Structures are given as C-alpha cells and as structure tokens.
Amino acid sequence: MNLSDAMGLIREIPDFPKKGILFQDITPLLLNAQAFNVIITYMVNSSSHFDYVAAMEARGFIFAAAIANQSQRGFIPIRKSGKLPSDTHSESYGLEYGADTLQVHKDACAAPSQILIVDDVLATGGTACAAIRLIEKTGASVLKVIFLLEIEALAGRENILQQYPHMDIESLKKI
C-alpha cells in the first residue's frame, strides 16, 4: 500500500455534522493497520530531526503518539484547559464559533528542543498557532507542523504563515 492508497481510505460524509458540510471521515484509514502504518511512516520520514512530537487533543493524539513511538521520541500532549495536573502554560485562541484555551505542562520541553506538531486537520489555523505559541513558552522551537488533511478554503496555512512566516507546514491531502 502506498500513501495515495492510504489517503484514499478517507471517506466523505455529506451533511455531517450539519447540512452543507462534507465531513472527512478518517475512521476507515485508522481501521486499516497497513494504511495507518503508511501514514505514520510518511510523517516520520518527512520531518527532519525533532526531539519531541506534540499534538492537540483529541485526534491529533492518535497520529502524534504513533509517530513518537515509531521515531522513539517523547510525546507532548497539548490539552484543553484544566486537563493537565501540573503547572501549565495557557494560550487562548479564536474558533469559528467562539474561543477556547489550550495548555501544556511548563516542563514538557525546553530549549534547545525541536518540536514536531501534528494534527488531523488544518482548518483556520487558530489551534495550530496556539500550539506553536505554547511550545515557544516552554523555550523550545517548533520545527514543523504536519496535518493529515487541510481545508484550503479556510485559509489556515495563510493564517499560520502570517504569524510564523518561516514555519514549515505540510499536509498530506488538501481538500
């Protein structure tokens, strides 16, 4: 199985979760062990040296934990407010329908660590920018941000590059 075959397993569900949305269901990809392995291997190999893999909950955790395991690197969970038990850095960000806050443990990483951030979907870029800011608060640097899917019409890539002009951003599939 190749990358194209693996990405081809993502099915489109019209009008979910509401009318007018064409939902990208990654479940068939996750159910196929060979396809999932192809995706994880590609993400590991497409990134240069990194010290840790970070992801925002929840679906980003699926990919980032597998990447961390395969690359023998640590995994940094970036969680919604109030979910981490130790001292945290916080970062609020805007959503299409409001605002939210993400947190990371203050001792999750430090300079000169290089971090790979992983998520399932790049939409508006707000969550990714908040995650980048959180990693920077620890003193570490974000090497790259990689996504399974990118919804081009929502201009998330442009929003990230507006704040971080030299950020390396990769998406395996653009829709």
105 domain residue, yes or no: yes
5 domain residue, yes or no: no
Are 54 and 33 in contact, with CB atoms under 8 Å apart?
A: no
The segments of the chain whose pLDDT lies below 70 read 95-97
CATH at 101? 3.40.50.2020
Q: Residue 97: what pLDDT? A: 66
Any catalytic annotation for residue 133?
no
- State pLDDT tens for residues 69-89: 999 999 999 999 999 999 999
24 domain residue, yes or no: no
82 conformational bin, left if phi > 0, alpha if psi -120 to 50, beta if neither: left
DSSP reduced 3-state for 32 = coil
Number of domains in the chain: 1
Distances (CA, A) of 58 to 49, 92, 113, 140, 141: 25, 17, 23, 22, 22
Query: Which residues are paired to 54 by β-bridges?
Result: 76, 117
Contacts of 58 (CB under 8 A, 6+ apart): none
Catalytic residue among 59, 79, 91, 152: 59
Nearest to 138 by CA among 100, 99, 86, 93: 86
15 domain residue, yes or no: no
Catalytic residue among 11, 12, 91, 96: 96
Are 159 and 134 in contact, with CB atoms under 8 Å apart?
A: no
Q: Residue 107: what pLDDT? A: 96
Domain range for 55: 48-174
Q: Residue 96: what pLDDT? A: 63
Any catalytic annotation for residue 96?
yes
109 domain residue, yes or no: yes
166 domain residue, yes or no: yes
Q: Residue 95: what pLDDT? A: 67
Structure tokens at 142: 């974000």
